Structure 1
C-alpha cells in the first residue's frame, strides 16, 4: 500500500504536471470509488484549475481555484498517470482532462482506494479523525502522542488516528533501525527508546522519499532489502523472522530487536 513517501511522490508529480491547468472535463469509467455523486465532482472541478496539492499521511489533496478539495486515497494499487494521445490506463477510475489536451488519471486495480470531495483539508482531517502527518510532527509532539498508549508499538505507529502516513513496510523499517521489537508495549518503552524511534522515523521517511521508494536503492543495512522470512540480517548473524502484529505480516530480527519478557 502506498505510504507517506509514495504520497509525497504523487504530490510532487501533480505539482509538476497538473497544477495551474484549466480542467475541461471529468470522466468516470467506474464510479464505485466515489464518495460523492459524480455530478458533484464535475460541478466542483470543470472550469477550475488545481491551485496546490498537499499530502496528509496516506491521502493526497488537490485544491481548486474555487477552494474545493479533491482528495485521493490510493488503497493497495492506486496510482496517478499524466498523459496525452493515448488510451486511458486499464484500471482508470477517474480521468481529468485539461485545456492543453493532457489528462490526469487515477487508476486502482484492486478497487480499494477512495475519491473524496471536501470543502477544506482541515475539515476532511477532522471528519475522518486523522492524526497529524507523521513527517510534520516535532519530537515533542511525537512523544506526546505515545505517552498514554498501551498497545504494541507497531500497532500504534500504523494507527492513522494517532499519526497519519505510516504503514506496514516503513513502520517495520523504523523499528528495525531503532532496535525495538514490533510487539513491545508502547508504555514499556523508555524515553530514550521513543526519542530514537522518532529519529529513525524521520530518517526512514526522508530516505524513502529521496530514493523514490525503490527498494534496491536503499542502504544494504536496511530491512526493506531483506523482507523475507529466514533472510540473513544485514546487521548481525541472526535471521529475519515473519510474525503477525496487529493482523499484519511483520518482519524483524529477533537478535537486533529483543522481545520484552
Structure 2
C-alpha cells in the first residue's frame, strides 16, 4: 500500500505537471465503490473546466486544491495510484519506471483507470487507477483551507512531516495507551501516514519489539521511538519514496527476499515475521527484544526466546508461510473461495466470492481500520447467472455524458496491466 512517502511522491508530481493548469476534459468510469459519497458523473461535472491550484497531503490522504470548491480528496487503498502521461518515472516502483522509459509504448488510458484528467496543454494527462477498487475518491465542498477540518481528514492524527510531532505529546500518548506498539503506530488517529513497512522500519531503528505494549516502554525507548519515527518518515519523504535510494542499513532493503535461506540481513541476522494487530510485521529478534509486557500470552518481559510465535493453549502458533503484507499482494490476486473455486475476473478487475451472512464492522472513518475493514467488506461482488453469461459492462462518463464501454474493447483503448512490485 502506498504510505506517507509514496503520497509525497504523488503530490510532488501533481504540483510539477498540473499546478496552474486547467482541465479541458474529464473521463470517469462508473464505480460506486471507488467514488465515495459521490458519483462519477458528479465528479466529471465538478472537475470539468476547473484550474488546479496545488496538491497537498495528510498522511495517506491527498487532495487537489482547485480554483473553487469542491475539491477531490483521495486515498489509494492497497493498489491505487496516479499515472502521468508525461512522467512514467513518477511511479514509485523502480521496475515500473524502467519499463516505461520508452513513452511511445505507453497505452492510454492505463488499465484499471477510474478517472482521467486531460489538461489544457496537449498530451498532459493524468489517470487515477485502482486494480482492486479499494481506493476512494471524494468531493469535499468546502473552502480549501477547511479541508482538514472535515471528514475524513479531521479524524486523522498529525502528519510527521507536514505537521511535525511534539515529543511531549507523543510520549504522553505512549504512556496512556496499552496497545502493541506496532498496532499503535498503524492507528491513523494517532499518526497519519505510517503503514506496514514504515512502522516496521521505525521499530527496527528504535530496536523495539513490535508486540511490546506501548505503555511499558522506558523513557529511553520512548525518546528513541520518537526520533526513529521522525527520521524514517522524513528520509523516506525527502527521497520521494524511491526505495532504490533508501539507506543500505534500512530493513526495507532486505525484508522482501524469498528463498531457501529466508530473509536475512547482510551480516546473516535473520528477519522474522509476526502478526500484530492483524498485520504481518517484519523484525529482527536479535536486535528487537521485548523489555516489557507484550501481546503474546505466556511471554515474560525481557524473555524473547519465542519472539514472533504466539502461544495458544500451550502450543506455538503455526509458522507464517506467506508474507501477509499488503505491499506484497498481486494487484489482481487469485484467491481460492469455497471448495477451491477461484474468483472471476470481470472487465479486468478481481471479483471475490461473497461470504453469506458475514459482514465486517466499519470503524471510524479515516482510520487504518476503516481502510482495511471497510475496503474488504465493500468490494462489490458480481456473479454470472450462467457460465459464459452475465458479463458486466462498465460505462464511461465523458464530460457528464455516457460514453463508450471500454471493457468490451470499444472506445478508448485500455493500457497494459501493471506488473507485480519487485521489492
Task: Work out the CA distance in 1 between the residues paired with 2:112 and 2:51.
Answer: 25
CA distance in structure 2 between the partners assigned to 1:17 and 1:60 by the alignment: 16
Report what 2:44 is aligned to. 42
> Which residue of structure 2 aligns with residue 88 of structure 1?
109
Report the alpha carbon displacement of residue 100 of structure 1 after superposing the two structures with TM.
1.7
Q: Hey, what's the Cα distance between the residues in 2 that align with 1:34 and 1:83?
A: 23
- Match 1:106 to one of 95, 110, 128: 128
Q: CA deviation at 1:166?
A: 0.3
Q: Give 1:30 shift.
A: 3.8
1:144: Cα distance to partner? 3.5
Q: Answer whether contact 2:160 2:233 (CA < 8 A) is retained.
A: no
Match of 2:147 among 121, 126, 130: 121
- Write the distance in 1 (CA, Å) between the matches of 2:78 and 2:152: 23
Higher strand share: 1
Q: After alignment, is 113-122 or 225-234 more displaced? A: 225-234
Q: Name the CA shift for 1:216/1:14 in 2 (closer, same or farther; >3 Å).
A: closer
The structure with the larger Rg is: 2
TM-score (norm 2): 0.58
Q: Is 1:77–1:110's contact at 8 Å kept on the other side of the alignment?
A: yes
Query: How many Å separate the matches in 1 of 2:167 and 2:269?
Result: 31
The answer to whether the aligner puts 1:249 opposite 2:287 as a matched pair is no
2:35 partner SS? coil
Partner of 2:194: 166
What CA deviation, in whole Å up to 9, does each residue of 1:1-49 have, x standing for no partner? 0000000000000000001111122211242310112233233222211
1:175-218 Cα shifts (integer Å, max 9, x gaps): 00010000010000122211211111111122222333333432
* Contact in 1 for aligned 2:28/2:44 (Cα 8 Å): no
> Using a 3 Å threshold, how does the CA distance of structure 1 residues 24 and 145 change in structure 2: closer, same or farther?
farther
SS in 2 for 1:258: coil
RMSD: 2.1
TM-score by length of 1: 0.91
Matched, 1:133 2:164: no
**Equivalent residue number for residue 51 of structure 1:** 53
1:77 maps to 2:61: no
Higher helix share: 1
Total equivalences in the alignment: 260
Per the TM alignment, residue 139 of structure 1 is displaced from its structure 2 partner at its CA by: 2.1
